[in-house]
């Protein structure tokens, strides 16, 4: 991918906001609870290397990613902090993880057996995942846990350094399911502590942003801090509770590349879906679905000169048209996410319009949009 340097569309990432958000959560956590900054999916679209560096400089002690590839990107950038890969990694690739001191997640006996057959020059650190109700990956039963622990004892070059689970609904108002998960986790932890020698030195972590914000004192050795580090709330409900103040790190800007006066009856874009009922002004903005700016955003708005301007006609691959209230010079700034005078478009506004979550919005804006760090 060629870095885009010449096209006037860019995302601005406010690194100070990342530091601020880490500081906000840190002051609520008990001593002994550290922050593992979740920088998977290119740091939720913010840039994994830059976010990882800022998070570590702001007090995070470890990093989490989803893929081994993502961990290697961080290592190649010279980041030496502990990195946990949260997803499943093929056992045949465990030597790559071991040699780069990258911790893998495991939850299957057969996975251990496969790793056991490989001669590793470095020990492989692993965290064991327990599925307490997410239904995605992890050991589900007490019996399976006992089997896995027995298997693990046979493989001296695989070093268990952590156990964890993931909550499915810590961001919801109703916490019944969340409490059910914490109870299942405690039951598995009891067995683990009885059956594993040295259990007291194993790192335990359960909380994502929502759990950490709501139950900071219940968090164990780490929180896995993702969406809130980027300044977004895990759900509208958590946001409405005003438990924590967060600053969004992501803004998105472009510029007008063409402005024209059109007469009544003028049609705009593919399929001519928009018709002017009276004379008006059209601005062209160089961003489209090829950048991850979804076609579904038709009829949403952007900001120009502090005013909301509707997106008219179909969004093209690289450009879209907006309705302006007057003529503006070429090069006028267009705010797609962020503040312009008294107006603001939040990531949440776009998520609401698209019927999705803020996580998806910053992830969907792809690498064609350069990230500028401020
Ligand atoms: C296993 C795991 N832990 C932690 C997180 C971070 O969650 P959040 O972004 O809600 O803080 C994620 C994100 O999806 C995850 O998959």
Q: Does ligand 1 come within 6 angstroms of the Cβ of 38?
A: yes
26 assigned to some structural domain = yes
**Percent above pLDDT 70 for the chain:** 99
Q: What is the spatial distance between Cα 231 and Cα 233, in angstroms, rounded to a whole number? A: 7
CA angle 80, 83, 89 (to 5 degrees): 130
pLDDT in tens, 72-83: 999 999 999 999
Q: Under a CB-based contact definition with an 8 Å cutoff, are residues 322 and 356 in contact?
A: no
354 assigned to some structural domain = no
Q: Does ligand 1 come within 6 angstroms of the Cβ of 209?
A: yes
**Percent above pLDDT 90 for the chain:** 97
Q: Does ligand 1 come within 6 angstroms of the Cβ of 226?
A: yes
Burial 146-163 (b: 16+ CB within 10 A, else e): eebbebbeebeebebebb
**Is 40 an active-site residue?**
yes
Residue 329 has pLDDT above 60, yes or no: yes
Average pLDDT over residues 333-349: 98
Strand positions, DSSP E, 40-81 = 62-65
Structural domain containing residue 137: 15-232
CA–centroid distance, 341 to ligand 1, in Å, is 33
Q: Supply the pLDDT for residue 1.
A: 46
pLDDT in tens, 96-136: 999 999 999 999 999 999 999 999 889 999 999 999 999 99
CATH of the domain at 294: 2.40.37.10
Residue 181 has pLDDT above 70, yes or no: yes
pLDDT in tens, 192-233: 999 999 999 999 999 999 999 999 999 999 999 999 999 999
Domain co-membership, 187 together with 266: no
* 343-345 and 301-304 strand pairing: unpaired
pLDDT in tens, 85-101: 999 999 999 999 999 99
303 assigned to some structural domain = yes
- Candidate of 25, 38, 163, 232 to mutate for ligand 1, largest count of ligand atoms within 8 Å of Cβ: 38
Average pLDDT, the chain: 97
Domain co-membership, 218 together with 298: no
Average pLDDT over residues 21-32: 98
Please identify, by atom number, the ligand 1 atom nearest to the C-alpha of residue 210: 10
Among 153, 159, 267, 270, the one annotated catalytic: 270
Domain co-membership, 129 together with 54: yes
Q: What is the spatial distance between Cα 352 and Cα 346, in angstroms, rounded to a whole number? A: 10
* 250-255 and 10-13 strand pairing: antiparallel
Average pLDDT over residues 138-142: 97
352 assigned to some structural domain = no
* Final residue before a domain boundary, out of 232, 260, 295: 232
Domain co-membership, 192 together with 340: no
Q: Which residue has the tokens 């994502």?
A: 208
CA–centroid distance, 82 to ligand 1, in Å, is 17
Provide the token pair at 1: 């991918």
Average pLDDT over residues 30-52: 98
Residue 309 has pLDDT above 70, yes or no: yes
371 assigned to some structural domain = no
Phi-psi region of 245 (alpha: psi -120 to 50; beta: other; left: phi over 0): beta
Domain co-membership, 205 together with 312: no
Q: Does ligand 1 come within 6 angstroms of the Cβ of 86?
A: yes
CA–centroid distance, 196 to ligand 1, in Å, is 27
Considering its fold, how many domains does the chain have in total?
2
Looking only at Cα atoms, what is the longest distance across the chain? 79
9 assigned to some structural domain = no
DSSP assignment of 186-201, as one string?
A: HHHHHHHHHH-TTGGG
Domain co-membership, 99 together with 192: yes
Among 40, 54, 125, 129, the one annotated catalytic: 40
Q: Is 68 exposed, middle or buried (0-12, 13-18, 19+ CB in 10 A)?
A: buried
Domain co-membership, 139 together with 24: yes
Q: Does ligand 1 come within 6 angstroms of the Cβ of 224?
A: yes
- For 342, list phi and psi in degrees, rounded to 5: -85, -10
CA–centroid distance, 52 to ligand 1, in Å, is 15
Domain co-membership, 194 together with 274: no
Q: Supply the pLDDT for residue 4.
A: 55
Entry field: residues in the chain: 374
Residue 2 has pLDDT above 60, yes or no: no
CA–centroid distance, 254 to ligand 1, in Å, is 30
Domain co-membership, 211 together with 273: no
Average pLDDT over residues 19-31: 98
Q: Supply the pLDDT for residue 3.
A: 54
Phi-psi region of 43 (alpha: psi -120 to 50; beta: other; left: phi over 0): left
358 assigned to some structural domain = no
Domain co-membership, 31 together with 166: yes
Residue 248 has pLDDT above 70, yes or no: yes
Q: Residue 167 — very low, low, confident or very high, per pLDDT cuts 50/70/90?
A: very high
Name which residue sits closest to atom 13 of ligand 1, judged by CA. Answer: 226
Q: Residue 5 — very low, low, confident or very high, per pLDDT cuts 50/70/90?
A: confident
Domain co-membership, 160 together with 260: no
Q: How many other CB atoms are there within 10 angstroms of residue 194's CB atom?
A: 10
Domain co-membership, 191 together with 290: no
CA–centroid distance, 338 to ligand 1, in Å, is 24
Report pTM: 0.97
CATH of the domain at 155: 3.20.20.10
- Candidate of 164, 226, 232 to mutate for ligand 1, largest count of ligand atoms within 8 Å of Cβ: 226
Residue 91 DSSP one-character state:
G
**Facing residues of 258 across strands?**
284
Q: Supply the pLDDT for residue 273.
A: 97
Q: Residue 6 — very low, low, confident or very high, per pLDDT cuts 50/70/90?
A: confident
Name which residue sits closest to atom 6 of ligand 1, judged by CA. Answer: 226
177 assigned to some structural domain = yes
Q: Supply the pLDDT for residue 305.
A: 98
**Is 270 an active-site residue?**
yes
Burial 104-142 (b: 16+ CB within 10 A, else e): bbbbbbebbeebbebebeeebbbbbbbbbbeeebbbeee
Average pLDDT over residues 226-243: 97
Q: Does ligand 1 come within 6 angstroms of the Cβ of 234?
A: yes
Average pLDDT over residues 6-15: 95
**Facing residues of 262 across strands?**
280
Q: Under a CB-based contact definition with an 8 Å cutoff, are residues 288 and 316 in contact?
A: yes
């Amino acid at each position: 991918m060629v870095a885009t340097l010449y096209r006037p569309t860019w995302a601005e990432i406010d690194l100070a906001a990342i530091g601020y958000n880490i500081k906000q959560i840190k002051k609520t956590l008990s001593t002994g609870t550290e922050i593992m900054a979740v920088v998977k999916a290119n740091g939720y679209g913010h840039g994994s290397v830059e976010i990882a560096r800022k998070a570590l400089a702001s007090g995070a002690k470890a990093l989490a990613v989803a893929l081994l590839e993502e961990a290697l990107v961080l290592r190649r950038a010279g980041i030496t902090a502990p990195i946990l890969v949260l997803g499943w990694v093929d056992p045949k690739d465990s030597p790559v993880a071991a040699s780069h001191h990258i911790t893998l997640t495991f939850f299957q006996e057969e996975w251990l057996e496969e790793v056991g057959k490989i001669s590793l020059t470095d020990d492989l650190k692993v965290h064991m995942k327990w599925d307490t109700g997410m239904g995605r990956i992890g050991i589900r039963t007490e019996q399976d846990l006992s089997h896995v622990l027995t298997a693990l004892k046979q493989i001296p070059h695989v070093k268990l350094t952590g156990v964890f689970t993931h909550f499915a609904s810590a961001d919801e108002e109703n916490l019944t399911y969340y409490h059910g998960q914490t109870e299942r986790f405690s039951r598995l932890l009891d067995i683990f502590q009885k059956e594993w020698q040295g259990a007291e030195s194993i790192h335990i972590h359960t909380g994502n942003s929502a759990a950490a914000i709501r139950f900071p004192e219940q968090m164990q050795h780490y929180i896995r801090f993702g969406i809130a580090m980027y300044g977004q709330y895990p759900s509208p409900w958590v946001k409405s509770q005003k438990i924590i103040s967060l600053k969004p790190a992501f803004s998105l800007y472009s510029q007008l590349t063409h402005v024209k006066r059109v007469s009544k009856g003028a049609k705009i874009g593919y399929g001519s879906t928009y018709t002017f009922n009276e004379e008006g002004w059209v601005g062209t903005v160089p961003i489209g679905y090829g950048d991850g700016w979804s076609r579904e955003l038709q009829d949403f708005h952007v900001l120009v000169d502090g005013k909301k301007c509707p997106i008219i006609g179909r969004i093209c691959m690289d450009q879209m048209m907006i309705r302006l209230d007057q003529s503006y010079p070429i090069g006028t700034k267009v705010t797609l996410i962020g503040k312009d005078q008294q107006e603001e478009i939040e990531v949440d506004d776009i998520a609401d319009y698209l019927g999705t979550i803020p996580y998806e919005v910053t992830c969907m804006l792809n690498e064609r949009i350069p990230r500028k760090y401020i």
